[in-house]
């Protein structure tokens, strides 16, 4: 008889279990798919040229496990609470506590086992779709086939057992108390006491709103605040404590908002004249009770979802930096020493390629002295190798590359500097525009730009100073030439592999330098031969450079890294959104029975179905709307913070996810209301 009661209770609450089943099935499906892709040899070997996708997919799988455990613990507590009357009935019939616990564990195991089997089944089917998406995102030239991995099944089963053990421990802890029915008692009266607001609660409620708004304002102005602090305090510590402070303010503000902020809002709403109109007071009271019952869960759900979306913004920033660097490093298909240009031309011809453009850039590497002022009142003198480039060479090269800044002319003793280092220094301090070159030559830098002239490893890892042609000849240094070649070919990868095979990347063309600075003059030697019998001066050493580089492998690596990072971040964001919406939905469904009593009472009092339906939508809106608003605010300003420091990124996908979260929560909101109505009217 007890087993029949248990089975009937299970069927009666099948829809609630269905939400749990769908969520766990989806998590198992994605976890299996991620793990299976790490064992897909054609996929991993093809990507291994540039990046080990197994490591990134494993990290993604770990976060899937964390979200799964969080959901299971939250949902499990919901099911225990929802079946309190059934558990009390078992006690009334004399069922021993260990038998109740055993029966509960069997039900959870059966439900999780079904979710596991369904998840593996869907995972096998959808793993092909997921791998196709990954192949497309990473621009891999590989055929995606239906793949089944027993090893992934075993790993997923181990995770499933781990999650079940955690949920089983939770059940044992809750149901092992002396009076099982006492676990669920005294909640309603406690909730009624919470409805009364105290002065300190109003203060904390207002404080929570001010804390969140302050965090948003600081995030909005984080870039100027950071640079201002660095210039005044002479410290970069703000890069750590300011974002951390914003995060901490959002966390504390979110918890206080759900515990006191919403209660304060209800308090001020109740002061309106329309307070007692219709069912307004009843609606707000019921909504407040639901919020106060679940404020911790709502706060945690909000923060996890916002964090998942913010990570998408972080992934976009990382991808943007990598993309910009690879673009700057490879303005042409090939960059090569001119003494190896003939070999490159032969390789291109042998692989059915055709050179479309070719230009030689004539450089002269020398020493330079800059004045740098970061934190101290006194300037710091910095010595660096620097490459001098003729203005005429630059202008010819710029005509073929519209993204390069246009330089029409330069005055005598003036130039334009292309260097990552000095652009960075100039953004956080003051870089002197005067550059002292050997033998008393002094130049003034008109503009600072990032290094847009190719791979610096071919140029002794130094920046480029564009000078008038006449002054180029007069400067002491070692001259060399780099050929910038563009090619048209049907198979870029084949050509790049052939070049790499026949023109092995090598370091050479060493230079040796030894300079001192005295009485406003930079004196010394720079040569291709080792300096002998010299006393080391202020700036001394040696350096070598790379012989060639190809655009295709660099761009391919950047594309594949971007693809895998965005793939994992997007899936984690989607899982977090759906899982947290399901948690909120399950929390609300636990109130079905209590709400049903109110529904019957209101029906006897003559309240129309239309008005009760409106009341139901209003109550649930107070549960689903705050997470959406806070997630959009937290994530939106986090993404904006990323965009303040990485301005080249396209953050539309991250902002779009804020809208996707709103849609997911809206669907959960509608389903919750429909379920309430169906349960009450059945």
Q: What pLDDT, in 10s, does the model give residues 660-673?
A: 999 999 998 998 88
> How far apart, in whole angstroms, are the C-alpha atoms of residue 313 and residue 430?
31
Tokens read off for 332: 């042409």
State the pairing for strand pair 441-449/414-418: parallel
Question: Is 172 a member of any domain?
Answer: yes
**Residue 239 binned pLDDT confidence (cut-offs 50, 70, 90):** confident
Domain boundary among 163, 185, 207: 185
- 257: which DSSP letter? I
Rounded to an integer, what distance in angstroms lies between the CA atom of residue 519 and that of residue 521?
6
* Per-residue pLDDT at 365: 92
Any domain includes 132 = yes
pLDDT at 5 over 60: no
pLDDT of amino acid 183: 45
Residue 307 included in any domain: no
Domain of 98 in residue numbering reads as 1-185
Say yes or no to pLDDT of 483 above 70: yes
> How far apart, in whole angstroms, are the C-alpha atoms of residue 213 and residue 20?
35
Is a pLDDT exceeding 50 seen at residue 390? yes
> What six digits make up the tokens of 605?
């009092």
394 pLDDT higher than 80: yes
- C-alpha pair distances (Å), 658 with each of 13, 219, 633: 32, 17, 9
Examine residue 638 and state whether it is found in any structural domain, yes or no: no
Which is it for strands 478-488 and 334-337: parallel, antiparallel or unpaired?
antiparallel
* Residue with the larger pLDDT of the pair 603 and 59: 59
262-269 and 280-293 helices, crossing angle to 10°: 170
What does the pLDDT read at residue 16?
60
Question: Is 518 a member of any domain?
Answer: yes
**How many folded domains does the chain comprise?**
2
Rg (CA), the chain: 33
Does residue 11 lie within any of the structural domains? yes
Which of 151, 185, 219 marks a domain boundary?
A: 185
**What is the sign, positive or negative, of the torsion defined by CA atoms of 452, 457, 459, 461?**
positive
462 Cβ contact list (under 8 Å, min separation 6) = 365, 384, 385, 386, 387, 419, 456
3-class state of residue 630 by DSSP = helix
Q: Which of 27-41, 189-203, 381-395, 433-447 has the highest mean pLDDT?
A: 381-395
Structural domain contains residue 399 = yes
Q: Please determine, for residue 228, whether its predicted confidence score (pLDDT) is greater than 90.
A: no
Q: What are the tens digits of pLDDT across the range 263-318?
A: 888 888 777 655 555 566 666 677 777 788 888 888 988 998 999 899 888 888 88
How does the average pLDDT of the chain come out, rounded?
Answer: 80
Per cent of the chain over pLDDT 70 is 80
If DSSP codes are grouped into helix, strand and coil, which group holds residue 535? coil
pTM for the full model? Answer: 0.77
Q: Considering only residues 547 and 168, tell me which one the structure prediction assigns the higher pLDDT.
A: 547
Q: Residue 671 falls within a domain, yes or no?
A: no
pLDDT of 182: 46
3-class secondary-structure state, position 415: strand
Question: Dihedral angle at the C-alpha atoms of 203, 208, 211, 213, nearest 10 degrees?
Answer: -110
Top-confidence residue, 395 or 31: 395
Instruction: Determine the Cα–Cα distance for residues 149 and 37; give it in Å rounded to an integer.
Output: 9
Q: Which two tokens stand for residue 293?
A: 């019952």
Domain C-terminal end among 528, 546, 564? 546
Q: Encode burial over 103-140: b for 16+ CB neighbours within 10 A, e otherwise.
A: bbbebbeebbeebbebbbebbbebbeebbebbbebbeb
Q: Nearest CA to 526 among 480, 587, 588, 578?
A: 480
């Amino acid at each position: 008889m007890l087993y029949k009661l248990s089975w009937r209770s299970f069927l009666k609450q099948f829809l609630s279990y269905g939400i749990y089943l769908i969520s766990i099935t989806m998590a198992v499906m994605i976890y299996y798919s991620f793990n299976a892709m790490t064992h897909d040899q054609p996929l991993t070997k093809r990507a291994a040229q540039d990046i080990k996708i197994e490591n990134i997919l494993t990290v993604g799988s770990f976060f899937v496990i964390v979200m799964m455990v969080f959901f299971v613990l939250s949902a499990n507590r919901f099911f225990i609470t929802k079946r309190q009357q059934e558990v009390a009935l078992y006690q009334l019939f004399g069922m021993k506590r260990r038998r109740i616990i055993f029966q509960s564990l069997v039900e959870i195991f059966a439900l999780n086992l079904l979710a596991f089997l369904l998840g593996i089944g869907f995972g096998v089917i959808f793993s092909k779709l997921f791998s196709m998406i990954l192949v497309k995102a990473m621009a891999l030239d590989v055929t995606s086939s239906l793949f089944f991995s027993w090893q992934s099944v075993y790993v997923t089963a181990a995770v499933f057992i781990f999650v079940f053990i955690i949920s089983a421990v939770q059940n044992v802890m809750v149901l092992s108390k002396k009076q099982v029915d006492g676990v669920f008692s005294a909640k309603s009266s406690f909730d009624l006491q919470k409805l009364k607001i105290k002065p300190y609660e109003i203060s904390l409620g207002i404080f929570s709103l001010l804390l969140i708004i302050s965090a948003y304002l600081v995030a909005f102005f984080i870039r100027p605040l950071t640079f201002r602090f660095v210039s005044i305090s002479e410290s970069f510590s703000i890069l750590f404590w300011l974002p951390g402070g914003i995060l901490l303010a959002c966390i504390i503000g979110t918890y206080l908002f759900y515990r006191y902020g919403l209660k304060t809002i209800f308090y001020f709403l109740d002061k309106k004249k329309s307070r007692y109109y219709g069912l307004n007071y009843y609606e707000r009271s019921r909504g407040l009770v639901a919020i106060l019952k679940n404020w911790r869960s709502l706060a945690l759900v909000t923060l996890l979802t916002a964090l998942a979306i913010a990570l998408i913004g972080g992934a976009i920033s990382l991808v943007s930096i990598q993309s910009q660097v690879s673009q700057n490093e490879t303005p042409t298909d090939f960059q090569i020493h001119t003494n190896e240009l003939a070999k490159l031309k032969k390789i291109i011809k042998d692989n059915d390629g055709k050179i479309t453009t070719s230009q030689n850039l004539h450089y002269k590497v020398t020493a330079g002295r800059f004045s740098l002022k970061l934190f101290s009142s006194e300037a710091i003198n910095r010595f660096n190798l620097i490459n001098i480039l003729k203005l005429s060479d630059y202008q010819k090269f710029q005509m073929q590359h519209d993204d390069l800044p246009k330089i029409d002319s330069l005055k005598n003793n003036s130039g334009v500097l292309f260097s990552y280092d000095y652009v960075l220094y100039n953004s956080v301090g003051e870089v002197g525009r005067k550059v002292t070159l050997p033998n008393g030559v002094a130049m003034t830098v008109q503009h600072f730009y990032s290094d847009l002239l190719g791979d610096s490893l071919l140029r002794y890892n130094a920046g480029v100073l564009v000078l008038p042609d006449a002054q180029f000849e007069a400067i002491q240094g070692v001259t060399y030439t780099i050929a910038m070649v563009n090619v048209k070919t049907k198979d870029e990868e084949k050509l790049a592999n052939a070049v790499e095979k026949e023109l092995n990347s090598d370091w050479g063309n060493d230079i040796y330098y030894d300079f001192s600075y005295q009485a406003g003059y930079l004196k010394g030697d720079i040569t291709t031969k080792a300096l002998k019998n010299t006393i080391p001066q202020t700036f001394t050493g040696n350096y070598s450079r790379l012989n060639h580089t190809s655009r295709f492998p660099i761009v391919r690596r950047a594309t594949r890294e971007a693809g895998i990072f965005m793939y994992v971040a997007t899936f984690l964001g989607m899982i977090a959104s759906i899982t947290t919406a399901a948690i909120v939905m399950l929390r609300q469904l636990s109130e079905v029975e209590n709400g049903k009593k109110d529904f019957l009472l209101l029906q006897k009092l003559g309240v129309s179905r239309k008005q009760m339906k409106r009341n139901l939508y209003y109550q649930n809106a107070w549960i689903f709307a705050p997470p959406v608003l806070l997630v959009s605010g937290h994530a939106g300003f986090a993404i904006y913070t990323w965009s303040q420091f990485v301005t080249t990124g396209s953050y539309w996908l991250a902002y779009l996810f804020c809208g996707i979260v709103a849609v997911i929560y809206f669907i959960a909101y509608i389903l919750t209301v429909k379920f309430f109505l169906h349960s009450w009217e059945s």
